[in-house]
Structure 1
Amino acid sequence: MKTTDIISLISKVRESANKFIINEMDSWGIKGLVPSHGDIIFALLYREKLTMKELAEKIGKDKSTVTALVDKLIKQGYVEKAKAIDDNRVTFVALTEKGKELKPMFESISSDLMSTVYKGVSENEKEELLRILIKIKSNF
């Protein structure tokens, strides 16, 4: 492999991780969710609610993309939106009870994913990999 293959390799790792997540969700009997939905649900699992703007910043996606993802999650019954009482321009997103019930699954899948990703990788290698990826991301 050449050093110029980095973007292709990162893309393949992401694709493999997404397939892993989808297969794991299937094994839990969850259909209709994709990893990008998981970003939103995961962000809300440890917070009562977030504004659309906060959610977009937290998951690193633009507001229009987050709006589309949230709307799909509303249709599936996992999240709900509500306008702020004091400012009608602000919309909050929160998990429904159905969304909160996903927490054990998300924690299990996340743990299994990290075990798979870092299998055979030392702590020093993990830290170095993270340092380099952060550096590469900051280059953009």
Structure 2
Amino acid sequence: MRSEQLVVSLIARIRRKANKLIINELKKHNIRGLDTSHGDIIGALFMKNVLTMNGLANIIEKDKSTVTALVNKLANLGYVERVKSEIDNRVTFITLTKKSKALWPVFVNISEKLLSTVYKGFSNTEKDMLIKLLSKIDKNL
């Protein structure tokens, strides 16, 4: 098999390894029940503070039913809460709880560890090129 045929397989393998590192780091901090998909939602809420379900679905690029399942689990674990819009009862806002906000330093630490592991031995030029090439693949799909 030619090397260019391995790109999707290699990206998938990297994703699995990155997810494993994240899950192991969460366990080290005694954070149970969270998956990397939950991290996408928590990260989006840290950036935006409050989002609708549709807003979350757009940001993390998952369908609404998947986001609903993820938010339900996060709510059951006490990491997010739902707040009904006072203007439109059909709209529900999702926001972080104090419990999840308290984890911000842990999430930052895990993110820094992941990035330092991923980019170990890379020059700044190589990092920039990697991001440029992966972004091009992303746009192609």
- TM superposition score category, shorter chain reference: over 0.9
Aligned to 2:104: 103
| Secondary structure of the corresponding residue to residue 48 of structure 2 | coil
| Secondary structure of the corresponding residue to residue 94 of structure 1 | strand
CA shift, 1:90, in A, is: 1.3
CA shift, 1:43, in A, is: 1.2
CA shift, 1:46, in A, is: 3.0
Using the size of structure 1 for normalisation, the TM-score is 0.96
Question: Following the alignment from structure 2 to structure 1, what is the Cα–Cα distance between the partners of residues 58 and 101?
Answer: 21
Aligned to 2:17: 16
Q: Which ranges of 4 or more aligned residues in structure 1 deviate by more than 3 Å?
A: none
Aligned to 2:122: 121
Gaps of at least 5 residues in structure 2 are none
CA shift, 1:2, in A, is: 1.6
Q: 5 Å matches for 1:1-140?
A: 2-140=3-141
Question: Following the alignment from structure 1 to structure 2, what is the Cα–Cα distance between the partners of residues 43 and 137?
Answer: 20
| Secondary structure of the corresponding residue to residue 93 of structure 2 | strand
Using the size of structure 2 for normalisation, the TM-score is 0.95
Aligned-residue sequence identity (percent) comes to 54
Question: Following the alignment from structure 1 to structure 2, what is the Cα–Cα distance between the partners of residues 32 and 134?
Answer: 31
Number of corresponding residues: 140
| Secondary structure of the corresponding residue to residue 46 of structure 1 | helix
CA shift, 1:47, in A, is: 2.8
Question: Following the alignment from structure 1 to structure 2, what is the Cα–Cα distance between the partners of residues 137 and 47?
Answer: 24
Question: What RMSD in Å do the two structures reach over aligned CA positions?
Answer: 1.0
Question: Following the alignment from structure 2 to structure 1, what is the Cα–Cα distance between the partners of residues 129 and 32?
Answer: 36
Gaps of at least 5 residues in structure 1 are none
Question: Following the alignment from structure 1 to structure 2, what is the Cα–Cα distance between the partners of residues 39 and 21?
Answer: 12
